[in-house]
Amino acid sequence: MNVLEELHASKVGKIKENEPLANHTTIKVGGPADIFVEPDSIDHLLKTMEIVTKHKMPWRVIGRGSNLLVSDGGIEGVVIKLGKGLDHLEVNGTEVRAGAGYSFIVLANAMARRGLSGLEFAGGIPGSVGGAVYMNAGAHGSDVSNILQKARILFPDGTVEWLSNKEMEYSYRTSVLQKKRPGIVLEAIFELREGDRESIAAEMKKHKNYRRETQPVKPCCGSVFRNPLPNHAGKLIQDANLKGFQIGGAQISELHGNFIINTGTANAKDVIRLIDHIKQTIFERSGIRMHTEVEIVQGRTD
């Protein structure tokens, strides 16, 4: 059997061929995946990886696609989406165990209703738990490193380990999974604290209002650039008079300089050209080299 036949025979979950990844990214651009799999359980994710590895197929994992820019040529091999099959949730006192496919925003809101504090910062982060843990997502002065107890990781050789907060080696928007030990987040355990529901709700509302006033609602991929501290990417882009600048269907948001929106007709090439223009402009103006926070996946040649 070939890889597709074996995946179907193993009944690992949803399986599609030539699936447009624009359907699975928040900016709504991206070419097709040869094979697209959404496993319906952790066990079936492990089986999927076993099959993919056996057939020596190229692969990559995606979550809710909020920090992802896929090339127009798409991705060769197998794309594995961590979604509904990995969206379990268990709460035991102040300890919260969530699957990688669980929405980070939904988790923050659910914990706020329970009067559990620590996830207020996550109320505006549109990705998944897996993506948030992988990249140490953060906002409003806090991030995953402040609440993670440990994360269960699947490594390419098929081994599964729990990594402690310390072993995740967190720093600004990065973890050990992006550097020394590539792996897939299966689930995470967070340690929160009891708090006052009204106070938590008020802080969440404050963050929500801030987002509404300062960030676009049109399709986008979230913050495009890392903040080159002590500077802030949005302020640098604004000071360079780039807000509103457009290439093709991709436009720098009028509300926040560190967001690129899809006006409706953008493709990945438009977005990448706009990112390159921002980098060049900021460097020429201030000598600062900008580095993307969004992950750019260059698959097939466009």
Cα–Cα dist 129/65, whole Å? 12
Distance from the Cα of residue 59 to its chain's centroid = 17
The residue out of 177, 212, 247 marking a domain boundary is: 212
Whether 138 and 202 map to the same domain: the answer is yes
Measured between alpha carbons, how far is residue 24 from residues 33, 79, 128 in Å?
Answer: 11, 11, 12
Domain shared by 92 and 206, yes or no: yes
Task: Identify the pLDDT of residue 140.
Answer: 84
> What pLDDT is attached to residue 113?
94
Residue 302 included in any domain: no
In this predicted structure, the answer to whether residue 302 has a pLDDT above a threshold of 60 is: no
Tell me the C-alpha distance between 35 and 21, whole Å: 11
Q: Pick from 85, 117, 147: which residue ends a domain?
A: 85
Percent of the chain predicted with pLDDT > 90: 80
pLDDT in tens, 196-234: 999 998 998 888 888 888 888 789 988 999 999 899 999
Q: Are residues 77 and 182 in the same domain?
A: no
Handedness of CA 171, 177, 181, 185 (dihedral sign): positive
Average pLDDT over residues 118-141: 90
CATH, residue 190: 3.30.465.10
- Let me know if 175 is a catalytic residue: no
Domain edge (last residue) among 212, 236, 262: 212
Separation between Cα atoms, residue 16 and residue 79, nearest integer Å: 10
- Name the pTM for this structure: 0.87
Identify whether residues 99 and 170 lie together within a single domain.
yes
**How much is the pLDDT for 300?**
63
Report yes or no on 243 lying in a domain: yes
Domain identity same for 203 and 227: no
The catalytic position among 128, 173, 187, 253 is 173
- The verdict on residue 289 lying in a domain is yes
Is 171 an active-site residue? no
Whether the Cβ atoms of residue 98 and residue 58 lie closer than 8 Å to each other: no
CB–CB of 9/48 below 8 Å?
Answer: no
Residue 107 lies in a domain: yes
DSSP string, 95-152: EEEEETTSBHHHHHHHHHHTTEES-GGGGG--SBHHHHHHHT-EETTEEGGGTEEEEE
Instruction: Indicate whether 239 belongs to any domain.
Output: yes
More confident residue, 136 or 123: 136
Residue 224's pLDDT is what?
A: 96
Q: Does residue 17 lie in a domain region? A: yes
Question: Tell me: the pLDDT tens digits for 237-262?
Answer: 999 999 999 999 999 999 999 999 99
Distance CA 105, CA 97 (A): 15
Instruction: Give yes or no for residue 299 having a pLDDT over 80.
Output: no
Q: Are residues 106 and 196 in the same domain?
A: yes
31: which 2 tokens? 């070419």
**How confident is residue 301, by pLDDT bands cut at 50, 70 and 90?**
low
From the list 19, 38, 187, 293, the catalytic residue is 293
> Is the preceding peptide bond at 230 cis, omega within 30 degrees of 0?
yes
Question: How many structural domains comprise the chain?
Answer: 3
Task: State the chain's mean pLDDT as an integer.
Answer: 93
Q: Which domain holds residue 136?
A: 88-212
CATH number at residue 46: 3.30.43.10
Residue 10 appears among annotated catalytic residues: no
